[in-house]
Amino acid sequence: MPRPEMTSFQNVFKADPQVQTSAPGRVNMLGEHTDYNDGFVLPTAIPQQTTVALGPSPDDQHHIYSQELDQQVSLGPTDPIPEGFASYVVGCFKVLEHQGIPVPPLAVHITSSVPMGSGLSSSAALEVAMLRGLRSHLQLLDIDDVRIAQLGQRAEQAYAGVQCGIMDQMASSLADAEHLLFLDTRTLERQLLPLPTGAEIVVMDSGIPRTLAGSGYNQRRAECEEAASELGVKALRDVEDLGAIAQLAEPLQNRARHVITENGRVLQARQGGSAEQFGELMNASHASLRDDYEVSVEGLDKLVAILQETSGVFGARLTGAGFGGACVALVEAGKGKDIAQNALDRYNQAGYQGKILVP
């Protein structure tokens, strides 16, 4: 382990930072692959955060350092967008510049406890922390938290190549770890809701890398757009009646069924209800993601099945885009640590390499 004082902003850049800002990762409890269909989502913030410290660059280049990766990227104003973690940071600079806001050369130091590549929105946490830092450093007082999320989404779409919805950046910008954030992704109407009484959240990494996440994600999105256009609606959000999708060929019919039923599950959860009822919605969401949306993989199904069989678990599902990454479970309050450890032991005995992420 590097000593913290050896990797701080001061040590990397030999100066004090002018601004330091943070933003959390998120776990989505219900409402998966609905946001780019103008639908409903229900994420919450996780305790893990990304922190950005920044100050003026000593020269005419940006210098961007990631403590976790121990990598520094330096680039001038006309250099191409770098690959990897720095693409999100430079993407944030570029979206501001497109708004006519010049970004002077900066020294940026990033540290993060949000797991990378698990589907817990480490990229959104980085974008939101970075944009908060830029808002403060450049005194962009008219940029509110919703705008931060929208700018972060644009940075991800335009410069990291994923045609993502607005959920992750909204969650990182507006959610907290004590509530569920209900969000209507079309109107951006939102509401903080309590967790079901007597319950807490467990998040586990399946250890399966999300290799297809980019291409598979963009393909699902295109299928949904095609389904909406065949049905003559703006987005699948506008279809509530499952009878209406009978005319669609496969796989569009299955994709549409997932989106419609998943929107229904979020709206049902929003009404409130017991932890048992919420858990059943999560189990149904997993089945729908596995069978209709086809974004699960064997490891995720295995881990979800183990969690669902464990006493004290109300419900479990894959979370995030799928194709690997994390699972989330709603469990009896106070039992999260034990439940997660038992599930992990069983999962890893089956030959996988999972990890407990929350609690």
**Size of interface with ligand GLA, in residues (CB under 6 A):** 11
Gap between the Cα atoms of 34 and 28, Å rounded: 11
- Which residue's entry shows tokens 């600079």? 93
Instruction: Give the CA distances from residue 89 to residues 135, 157, 303, in Å, rounded to whole numbers and listed in that order.
Output: 14, 13, 34
* Contact region with ligand GLA (CB under 6 A), list: 17-25, 29-37, 142-150, 172-180: 29-37
- Member of 54, 73, 321, 330 binding ligand GLA (CB under 6 A): 321
Residue 36 is a binding residue for ligand GLA (CB under 6 A): yes
Closer Cβ to ligand GLA, 213 or 343, answer by number: 213
Residue 167 is a binding residue for ligand GLA (CB under 6 A): yes
Compute CA 42 distance to the chain's CA centroid, rounded to the nearest angstrom: 11
Helix and strand tally (H, E) in the chain?
10, 12
- Member of 39, 115, 320, 354 binding ligand GLA (CB under 6 A): 320
Residue 191, token pair as written in the block: 């509401």
> In this structure, how many other beta carbons lie within 10 angstroms of the beta carbon of residue 225?
15
Residue 152 is a binding residue for ligand GLA (CB under 6 A): no
Residues 6+ apart with CB under 8 A from 311: none
Residue 69, token pair as written in the block: 């990766």
89-93, long-range: CB within 8 Å, 24+ apart, which pairs? Answer: 89/62, 89/64, 89/126, 89/130, 90/62, 90/64, 90/159, 91/127, 91/154, 91/155, 91/156, 91/158, 91/159, 91/160, 92/127, 92/130, 92/131, 92/134, 92/151, 92/152, 92/155, 93/62, 93/134
Residue 32 is a binding residue for ligand GLA (CB under 6 A): yes
Residue 214, token pair as written in the block: 């980019």
Given a contact cutoff of 8 angstroms between Cβ atoms, the answer to whether 122 and 166 are in contact is: no
Residue 164 is a binding residue for ligand GLA (CB under 6 A): yes
The residues carrying an active-site annotation are 168
Residue 165 is a binding residue for ligand GLA (CB under 6 A): yes
Residue 184 is a binding residue for ligand GLA (CB under 6 A): no
* Contact region with ligand GLA (CB under 6 A), list: 32-40, 49-57, 199-207, 334-342: 32-40
- Where do the H-state alpha helices sit in 206-297? 213-231, 252-270, 275-291
Closer Cβ to ligand GLA, 32 or 109, answer by number: 32
> By rule CB under 6 A, what string of x and - marks binding of each residue 274-313 to ligand GLA?
----------------------------------------
Residue 35 is a binding residue for ligand GLA (CB under 6 A): yes
* Least distance from ligand GLA to the Cβ atom of residue 342, Å: 28
> By rule CB under 6 A, what string of x and - marks binding of each residue 122-141 to ligand GLA?
--------------------
Residue 91 is a binding residue for ligand GLA (CB under 6 A): no
Closer Cβ to ligand GLA, 57 or 168, answer by number: 168
Residue 43 is a binding residue for ligand GLA (CB under 6 A): no
Q: What's the DSSP call for residue 269?
A: H
Residue 168 is a binding residue for ligand GLA (CB under 6 A): yes
Of the candidates 339, 255, 355, which has an alpha carbon nearest to the alpha carbon of residue 299?
355
Closer Cβ to ligand GLA, 119 or 336, answer by number: 119
Q: Return the residues of window 9-28 that contact ligand GLA according to CB under 6 A.
A: 28
* Contact region with ligand GLA (CB under 6 A), list: 6-14, 162-170, 188-196, 199-207: 162-170
Residues that bind ligand GLA (CB under 6 A): 28, 32-33, 35-36, 164-165, 167-168, 320-321
